[in-house]
Amino acid sequence: MKKKSIIVLGSTGSIGTQTLDVARWQGYHIAGLAAGKNSELLLQQVEEFRPDIVFSAAPLPPASLPEGTILAASASEVAAYPADVAIAAIPGLAGLEPVRASLSTGKRLALANKESMVAAGELLWEMASEYGSEIIPVDSEHSAIFQALVGEKISEVAELVLTASGGPFYGKDISFDDVSPEQALAHPRWNMGPKVSIDSATLMNKGLEVLEARALFKVPLDKVKVVIHRQSYVHSMVRFIDGQLKAQLGPTDMRLAIQYAISYPARLPTPLANEPLAPTLTFEQPDSKRFPALELAYEAGRRGGVLPVVLNAANEVAVNAFLQGRIRFSGIPALVADTMKSSPSLELTWDNLFAADEWARQKAEELI
């Protein structure tokens, strides 16, 4: 059987490098790579995988690409290149344009970049249906729900239950005014990029995932629930109208979700096939007083229109400001809440999305 060809957008990051592990396991052809500043790692990847097309946001040394390799002018140009699957793993709304470029070519989109689904869900589905493209989730929670829904009817779903590890501070007696970036970046279960690690520590990640789940599976917001599950072994669950639940469980290793998004509906053997079972599974309600980001995401979802765009943009500004030492950890949800307070109410269109994103970034900077 012909091996799949894939494009990796964000190839030098956490999801990107794990996608290349999957490509090593399965012998996939890498048609394209796009990366940001880490040109040294990008060039090593080029050497190993010999992609047809490459984009680097940082300038590459002269003649550093093998002869015949196309040097793209943008990540979107790589995303639009012919292939079976594009993995969207550039974080934040910066990942949206490549997502659109990929969808407009009819190839499968394996979506890790949750922010684009949060901000533009309905619009992305319109594009997918216009161009006949599939969108398969990579986020482990959404992959779990996607897997639990195989063979089921969405009309028979009572609830989507997202599990949350709680991040490094859950249940710890620590003042959120004194948390350092290093402490917040140290996630107990997953090894991820800086943006998603900070989002996990504030629980904004789970808030974004609630909005992502609503948009991906087209269910009402009040059907998306969150439980704290410290072991991160149950990746998420679906409760059906008869009261039965289907959960997807497995090792905390993103490569399995990445591989499934590429190989679906097939399952392929991996080196993780015989991992031991997790010993204890616990579930508890989230503490939304101590972690207000989760409720902010529900509020953005209830208000609708461009509010999820504003929530996402303000959060991106807040996370960067925290990492640069300009605001405290406790200031992240506060800044998002303050930005949302004065947000315009606009319906979701592409023009309004970009206008709201720009407005929210400026507003959040002013508020800092």
Return the range that interacts with ligand NAP (CB under 6 A); candidates 33-41, 65-73, 259-267, 277-285.
33-41
Residue facing ligand NAP at closest CB distance: 13
List the one residue out of 140, 135, 149, 125 whose CA is nearest residue 239. Answer: 149
SS3 at position 114: helix
Report residue 6 CA to chain centroid gap. 18
Q: Fill in the per-residue mask, 66 to 95: x = in contact with ligand NAP (CB under 6 A), - = not in contact.
A: ---------x-------------xxx--x-
Q: Which of 5, 14, 200, 315: binder of ligand NAP (CB under 6 A)? A: 14
Kindly tell me which of 97 and 287 has the beta carbon lying closer to ligand NAP.
97
Q: Does 192 bind ligand NAP (CB under 6 A)?
A: yes
Query: Which residues are CB-contacts of 359 (< 8 A; sequence separation ≥ 6)?
Result: 310, 343, 344
Nearer to ligand NAP, 52 or 316 (CB): 316
Q: Which is nearer to ligand NAP, 70 or 158 (CB)?
A: 70
Please list, residue by residue across 15-44, b when 16 or more beta carbons sit within 10 angstroms of its beta carbon and e when fewer do. Answer: bbbbbbbbbeebebbbbbbbbbebbeebbe
Please pick, from the candidates 80, 93, 139, 145, the single residue that binds ligand NAP as defined by CB under 6 A: 139
* Nearest residue to 89 (alpha-carbon basis) of 133, 128, 33, 44: 33
Q: Please select the residue that binds ligand NAP; options are 7, 13, 211, 331, rule is CB under 6 A.
A: 13
172 — phi, psi (to 5°)? -100, 140
Minimum CB separation from ligand NAP for residue 55, in Å?
6
With binding defined as CB under 6 A, does residue 254 bind ligand NAP?
Answer: yes
Pairing status of strand 157-164 against strand 224-228: parallel
Which chain residues interact with ligand NAP by CB under 6 A?
A: 10-16, 34-38, 57, 75, 89-91, 94, 112-115, 139, 190, 192-196, 254
